[in-house]
Amino acid sequence: MLDVHGRSQLFVRAKLTGTRFGQRALIPQVWVGRTFAAYVDIADDGLSVRAYFGKPPRPGMLYFGYGGKPELSFGRLTRGGSALSI
């Protein structure tokens, strides 16, 4: 759970690793299809990203980028039982 405007809210979290994520002046984005994460946090060391979705995204390609332009693709997100996986 995260606090949003002083209220607790439940999110689906995706953690991306395997590369170095650079900080830029633009806001980082993570998305699957047309579903964008509500909040994206790049770790201080730049080795991981945590993306928080307001609802579980549908299966599709998972992207990281800026301004809606993908810089990295993390493969196809699939649904297996009650969990999402790549």
* Counted domains in the chain: 1
Predicted pLDDT at 70: 94
Q: How many CB atoms lie within 10 A of CB 82?
A: 6
Q: What is the pLDDT confidence band of residue 11, given thresholds at 50, 70 and 90? A: confident
Structural domain contains residue 83: no
Yes or no: say if 77 and 61 are a contact pair by the CB < 8 Å rule: yes
Residue 86 in any domain: the answer is no
- Confirm whether 9 is domain-assigned: yes
Look at residue 82 and tell me if it is in a domain: no
In a domain, 84, yes or no: no
Percent of the chain with pLDDT over 90: 52
d(CA 57, CA 59): 6
Look up the pTM and report it. Answer: 0.82
Structural domain of 25: 2-75
Q: Does 38 reside within a domain?
A: yes
Whether 82 has a pLDDT exceeding 70, the answer reads no
pLDDT in tens, 31-73: 998 999 999 999 999 999 999 999 888 889 999 999 989 999 9
